[in-house]
């Protein structure tokens, strides 16, 4: 049996600061909310008739049936990168797998490597160039400076609706400001030489990772799935098509040995659960999980409260980020 306690870690981190305001609750509202969000987004993606249609269809089924055995819940997960439920589990597993970065690193730094936005048709080749540029930088740093760099990088891509362009970038965690600056300078050198000065220094940020919360940010590379416009759904689909089968979180140096296992079966123990044997079905018409007696796993009120809490948290985070220094 797989023991997955990681989501608890993630959610503890996600909700820190609110714990004093609310009594500890079951994760049912959170599960329901994520299922609603993922179902809505996957439905839009599914409606596009993209080559990934079948895969989007699998996400519609992800976590649709929860099997409760005592205080433990089991469900099948799709493991797709556009699935909110699976991404949250995966992010938590990544953090658990790589948290020794924080423990071992004396001065962990978060580096963002970017370049000029590209058109959709260039996205796949841009991804390949980025991987190449990053490897080249590492190789040159080892050869010229004798430094073997250890760390992890994640690939992220955002979309600019007005310009219809894509903004792919790497989030990199390495040890020490000096190393981060070296990577940045080789990275910029690559793009300036080959792409006619297209990298911009103000986008290449470096900041120290002080807490586990900052670490979480580094892994949240494709969880922004709330898309409102049809065009954005198409852009999401295009990003997923271009990155199909590619590993978006890539450790390098000695961290290569750490393996993150992704199982289809997910199991989660809920300490506060009323012990029983039950099957819960997600019913999209009611936007909730119900059993055969029509009993709801989480009430509308609980789900709405969870949603409000998330919005408040996001707003707070946004304000903190944009606070004048
Ligand atoms: Zn899933």
Work out how many domains the chain is built from and give that number: 2
pTM of the model: 0.81
**73 C-alpha to center of ligand 1: Å?**
15
**174 C-alpha to center of ligand 1: Å?**
30
Q: Work out the pLDDT band at 198, boundaries 50, 70, 90.
A: low
Residue 54 within any structural domain of the chain: yes
* Spacing of C-alpha 1 from chain mean position: 25
**43 C-alpha to center of ligand 1: Å?**
13
**83 C-alpha to center of ligand 1: Å?**
5
Does the pLDDT at position 29 exceed 50? yes
108 and 140 part of one domain: yes
141 and 272 part of one domain: no
Q: Which domain holds residue 305?
A: 3-59+78-93+261-321
Residue 140 within any structural domain of the chain: yes
**88 C-alpha to center of ligand 1: Å?**
9
In this prediction, residue 191 carries a pLDDT of: 87
**65 C-alpha to center of ligand 1: Å?**
12
Residues 6+ positions from 26 with CB-CB distance below 8 Å: 270, 272, 273, 298
245 and 290 part of one domain: no
CA atoms 94, 99, 100, 104: torsion sign: positive
User: Would you call 246 helix, strand, or coil by DSSP?
Assistant: coil
Does the pLDDT at position 186 exceed 50? yes
Last residue of a domain, one of 230, 252, 274: 252
113 and 239 part of one domain: yes
Q: Which two tokens stand for residue 104?
A: 């071992």
Does the pLDDT at position 279 exceed 60? yes
107 and 165 part of one domain: yes
127 and 7 part of one domain: no
181 and 87 part of one domain: no
**77 C-alpha to center of ligand 1: Å?**
5
């Amino acid at each position: 049996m797989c023991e997955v306690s990681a989501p608890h870690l993630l959610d503890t981190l996600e909700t820190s600061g609110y714990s004093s305001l609310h009594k500890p609750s079951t994760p049912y509202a959170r599960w329901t909310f994520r299922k609603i969000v993922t179902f809505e987004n996957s439905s839009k993606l599914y409606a596009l008739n993209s080559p990934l249609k079948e895969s989007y269809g699998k996400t519609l089924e992800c976590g649709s049936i929860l099997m409760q055995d005592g205080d433990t819940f089991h469900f099948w997960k799709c493991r797709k990168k556009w699935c909110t439920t699976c991404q949250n589990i995966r992010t938590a597993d990544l953090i658990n797998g790589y948290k020794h970065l924080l423990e071992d690193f004396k001065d962990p730094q978060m580096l963002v490597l970017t370049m000029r936005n590209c058109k959709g048709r260039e996205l796949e080749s841009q991804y390949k160039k980025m991987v190449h540029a990053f490897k080249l930088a590492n190789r040159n740093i080892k050869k010229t400076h004798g430094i073997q760099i250890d760390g992890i990088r994640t690939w992220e891509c955002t979309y600019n609706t007005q310009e219809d362009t894509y903004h792919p970038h790497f989030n990199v965690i390495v040890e020490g400001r000096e190393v981060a600056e070296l990577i940045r300078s080789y990275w910029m050198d690559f793009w300036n030489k080959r792409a006619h000065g297209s990298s911009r220094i103000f986008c290449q940020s470096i900041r120290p990772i002080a807490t586990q919360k900052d670490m979480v940010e580094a892994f949240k590379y494709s969880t922004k799935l709330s898309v409102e416009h049809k065009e954005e759904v198409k852009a999401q689909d295009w990003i997923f098509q271009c990155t199909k089968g590619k590993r978006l979180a890539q450790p390098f140096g000695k961290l290569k040995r750490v393996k993150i296992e992704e199982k289809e079966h997910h199991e989660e123990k809920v300490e506060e659960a009323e012990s029983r044997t039950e099957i819960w079905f997600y019913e999209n018409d009611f936007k909730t999980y119900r059993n055969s007696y029509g009993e709801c796993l989480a009430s509308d009120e609980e789900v709405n409260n969870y949603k409000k809490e998330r919005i408040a948290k996001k707003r707070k985070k946004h304000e903190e980020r944009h606070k004048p220094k």
